[in-house]
Amino acid sequence: MLGTAGLLTAVLARTGQAQAASCPVCADLDTSARHRFYLLLDHLGPEAVATAPAAWRPCVPHLRALAELDLERWLRHWVEQRLARAGPDAADAARRYVRVRQQRYHHEATGTEADDLRAALAVLFGPPVS
């Protein structure tokens, strides 16, 4: 096995592809998910997307992936707005969490306190993997 890995490394180095190759299945799934997300937003249309509830916030990684596509002007504008608001929205949610936590002196975060912190993290990193 080590001999095979050494041979592959040598071949990749000679061809200038020494960096790790990505898994073709992962790449295909990522591309497919990005296009499905785009199709969903396009199907909903500008008005529905603009008036979606505040709780419906795609995470930064999904917005960045969507931004790589050739989008209609309205959708590109929406993605740029969401990306610009992601950091401030997460910081606001984290500040609310800290403020409430300091006022109540709870040992564990519960209810809306925990929800605020989870919302801040989900905006930046996506939802937790179950």
Does the pTM surpass 0.75? The reply is no
Q: How many domains does the chain have?
A: 1
Nearest-10 crossing angle of helices 24-50, 73-104? 90
95 in any annotated domain: yes
Say if 37 falls within a structural domain: yes
Residue at 121 is within a domain: yes
In tens, the pLDDT along 24-54 reads 777 788 888 888 988 999 999 999 988 888 7
Q: Does residue 12 fall inside a structural domain? A: no
Alpha-carbon distance 59 to 83, whole Å?
9
Give domain status of residue 102, yes or no: yes
- In this model, does residue 21 exceed pLDDT 70? no
What's the domain range around 55? 24-125
Instruction: Please provide the size of the chain in residues.
Output: 130
- Tens of pLDDT, residue by residue over 82-124, are 899 888 887 777 777 777 666 665 555 556 766 777 777 777 6
pLDDT digits (tens, 9 = 90+) for 41-92: 999 999 998 888 877 778 888 888 889 888 899 999 999 998 998 888 877 7
Query: Does some domain include residue 18?
Result: no
Sign of CA dihedral 74, 75, 77, 78: positive
User: Per DSSP, which regions of the chain are E strands?
Assistant: none
The string of DSSP codes covering 92-110 is HHHHHHHHHHHHHT-SS--
